[in-house]
């Protein structure tokens, strides 16, 4: 039974669903208004021109910034001339204290070596080997939601739990013997402490100025490091006995640079465990949250996902991934409209030219999936939710460098196929178990850019058990 009136879902008869988002600005803001808006919600600072032109250059509070949205130029910047466009210091300032020198924050030779060593871990074969863990985590979530039949659930929180569940099982298989919750607690405390962006980092204050968030992070980091140290020692012993399970920790310990045969040090293994958790949980959780919101507003797509998920389940309830092409298309369309990483920033090491536009040395270049995915020259109906774009042969018509939820070039997300596989399975398991509807009194659902893109006032939906 539903205890709340539900907002009727829109049908395709009324035209496709167009989610509400901050409208682009028609005029540039003054410096203080701009800084205020950047703090509130950076995606509210984009202007009409960004969605209509392929290159927009200007002087800003952070120096000269060139926003590039032409797929051919994006390819040039991220692939052909990648060596001249280094990942901007911002990410490093914000993330490095928590992540150590894992793959996301490493640079230069250290990054190259780690990337070569880690790439095989995320090969199609290894990722396919995680289907059952991901499916099982989706099924656990489905059962949890079905038990809440008729109640209002915090969808964003539930999706975060599910993605942490997936990471816990795929990195560590099982947690610490004797205290099954210790690992979950360690991860949650770690994430709480490294989550928020400190404004001192955004504006480049030197590292010796103490950051409140970082001081809070220290005990959490220490606790996490101790838990992982214990797990590492246990795993090394299991490896020596030839009894290690197939998970990311075993793969990290066994990984070797294909050129030199060198393995990862314990410090590198730990830094990458933290990196996978930090880079992989909130991004995927937000993609799932937005997908459930979009489906609640598009009855035809929701019914199709439900039917596909029902048909893809075997007698034991386990899903066949290859039978979920429309569910996957829903995830891809969701990440077009709500890219979890809304912009990538790069710093030009040497002066360069993009046609008539000069890129001065040390200036910033921004490639913004948020902008490109809604660019009026690149998409029909850019603001409409239309999963069919990514279904079947229509998918082939999408230009490679116009769709960038995972970036491109040498620093492309290493977890891309891992997270698409995970999100497809989890979404399908949720669709099998419950139908989620938005209550009539829910505040407008709009995106807020905080590291990733999340619903500003959260997302609470009413769960109706399906089976
Ligand atoms: C929907 C989910 C995800 C999205 C949208 C996403 C997006 C991205 C993007 C855009 C980048 C490139 C950043 C840049 O070029 O500046 C990136 C890098 C990275 N991601 Fe993901 N990611 C997701 C899930 C994951 C998962 C599940 C993992 C690990 C298990 C992961 C690990 C990484 C790592 C290690 C890097 C750095 C790669 C490098 O610099 O060589 N991500 N991600």
Looking up tokens 């995320």, which residue turns up?
A: 122
280 lines ligand 1 (CB under 6 A): yes
- Res 217: pLDDT: 59
Q: What angle do CA 59, 62, 65 make, to 5 degrees?
A: 50
DSSP H or E segment with residue 300: helix 299-312
Number of domains within the chain: 1
Has residue 1 been placed in a domain?
A: no
Residues 407, 341 contacting (CB under 8 angstroms): yes
**Cα(214) to centroid(ligand 1), Å:** 22
Q: What angle do CA 307, 311, 317 make, to 5 degrees?
A: 115
Has residue 224 been placed in a domain?
A: yes
Residues 336, 294 contacting (CB under 8 angstroms): no
- Res 60: pLDDT: 77
425 lines ligand 1 (CB under 6 A): no
Which of 187, 333, 335, 413 most suits a substitution to test ligand 1, by most atoms within 8 Å of the C-beta?
413
**Cα(147) to centroid(ligand 1), Å:** 33
Tens digit of pLDDT at every position of the chain (467 positions): 333 444 444 444 579 999 999 999 999 888 888 888 888 888 999 999 999 999 999 887 678 999 999 999 999 999 999 999 998 765 565 555 556 678 988 888 999 999 999 999 999 999 999 999 999 999 999 999 999 999 999 999 999 989 989 998 899 887 666 666 677 677 776 666 654 444 444 444 444 444 445 555 566 677 777 888 888 998 999 999 999 899 999 999 999 999 999 999 998 998 898 889 888 888 999 999 999 999 999 999 999 999 999 999 999 999 999 999 999 999 999 999 999 999 999 999 999 999 899 999 999 999 999 999 999 999 999 999 999 999 999 999 999 999 999 999 999 999 999 999 999 999 999 999 999 999 999 999 999 987 789 999 999 999 999 97
What pairs with residue 352 in β-bridges?
A: 359
413 lines ligand 1 (CB under 6 A): yes
- Res 21: pLDDT: 97
Q: What is the CATH number of the domain that holds 110?
A: 1.10.630.10
Query: Domain residues for 113?
Result: 12-465
- Res 5: pLDDT: 42
Helix pair 266-296, 108-118: axis angle to 10 deg: 70
Q: Report how many helices (DSSP H) and strands (DSSP E) the chain contains, helices first.
A: 17, 12
Has residue 299 been placed in a domain?
A: yes
Has residue 406 been placed in a domain?
A: yes
Residues 79, 408 contacting (CB under 8 angstroms): yes
- Res 287: pLDDT: 98
Has residue 194 been placed in a domain?
A: yes
Q: Which atom of ligand 1 is nearest to the CA of 104?
A: 37
**Cα(110) to centroid(ligand 1), Å:** 18
Question: Which protein residue has the closest C-alpha to ligand 1 atom 37?
Answer: 104
- Res 202: pLDDT: 45
Has residue 316 been placed in a domain?
A: yes
Question: Which protein residue has the closest C-alpha to ligand 1 atom 41?
Answer: 411
- Res 439: pLDDT: 97
HEC assignment per residue over 73-135 = HHHHHHHHCHHHEEECHHHHHHHHHHHCCCCCCCCHHHHHHHHHHHHHHHCHHHHHCCHHHHH
Has residue 6 been placed in a domain?
A: no
Non-local (6+) Cβ contacts of 352 within 8 A are 81, 84, 358, 359
- Res 204: pLDDT: 45
Has residue 3 been placed in a domain?
A: no
């Amino acid at each position: 039974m539903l205890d709340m009136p539900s907002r009727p879902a829109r049908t395709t008869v009324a035209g496709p669903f167009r989610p509400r988002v901050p409208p682009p600005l028609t005029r540039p803001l003054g410096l203080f208004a701009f800084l205020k808006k950047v703090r509130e919600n950076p995606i509210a600072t984009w202007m009409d021109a960004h969605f209509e032109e392929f290159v927009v250059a200007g002087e800003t509070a952070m120096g000269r910034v060139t926003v590039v949205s032409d797929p051919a130029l994006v390819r040039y910047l991220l692939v052909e001339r990648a060596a001249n466009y280094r990942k901007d210091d911002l990410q490093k300032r914000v993330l490095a204290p928590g992540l150590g020198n894992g793959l996301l924050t490493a640079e230069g030779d250290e990054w190259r070596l780690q990337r070569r060593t880690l790439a095989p871990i995320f090969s199609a074969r290894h990722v396919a080997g995680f289907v059952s863990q991901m499916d099982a985590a989706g099924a656990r979530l489905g059962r949890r939601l079905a038990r809440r039949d008729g109640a209002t659930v915090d969808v964003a929180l539930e999706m975060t739990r599910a993605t942490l569940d997936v990471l816990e099982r795929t990195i560590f298989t099982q947690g610490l013997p004797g205290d099954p919750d210790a690992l979950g607690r360690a991860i949650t405390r770690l994430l709480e402490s490294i989550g928020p962006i400190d404004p001192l980092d955004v504006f480049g204050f030197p590292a010796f100025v103490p950051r409140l968030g970082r001081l809070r992070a220290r005990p959490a980091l220490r606790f996490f490091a101790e838990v992982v140290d214990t797990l590492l020692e246990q795993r090394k012993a299991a490896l020596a006995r030839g009894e290690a399970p197939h998970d990311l920790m075993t793969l990290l310990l066994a990984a070797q640079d294909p050129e030199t045969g060198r393995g990862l040090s314990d410090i590198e293994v730990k830094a990458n465990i933290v990196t996978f958790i930090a880079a992989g949980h909130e991004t995927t959780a937000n993609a799932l949250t937005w997908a459930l919101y979009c489906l609640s507003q598009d009855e035809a797509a929701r019914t199709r996902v439900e039917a596909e998920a029902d048909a893809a389940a075997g007698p034991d309830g386990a899903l066949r991934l290859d039978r979920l092409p429309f569910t996957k298309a829903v995830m891809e369309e969701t990440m077009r409209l709500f890219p979890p990483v809304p912009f990538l920033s790069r710093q030009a090491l040497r002066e360069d030219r993009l046609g008539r536009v000069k890129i001065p040395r040390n200036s910033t270049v921004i490639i913004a999936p948020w902008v490109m995915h809604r660019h009026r020259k690149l998409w029909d109906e850019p603001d409409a939710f239309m999963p069919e774009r990514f279904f079947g042969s229509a998918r082939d018509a999408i230009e490679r460098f116009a769709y960038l939820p995972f970036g491109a070039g040498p620093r492309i997300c290493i977890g891309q196929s891992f997270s698409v596989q995970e999100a497809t399975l989890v979404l399908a398991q949720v669709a099998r178990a419950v139908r989620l509807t938005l209550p009539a009194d829910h505040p407008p659902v709009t995106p807020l850019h905080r590291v990733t893109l999340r619903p500003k006032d959260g997302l609470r939906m009413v769960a109706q058990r399906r089976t």
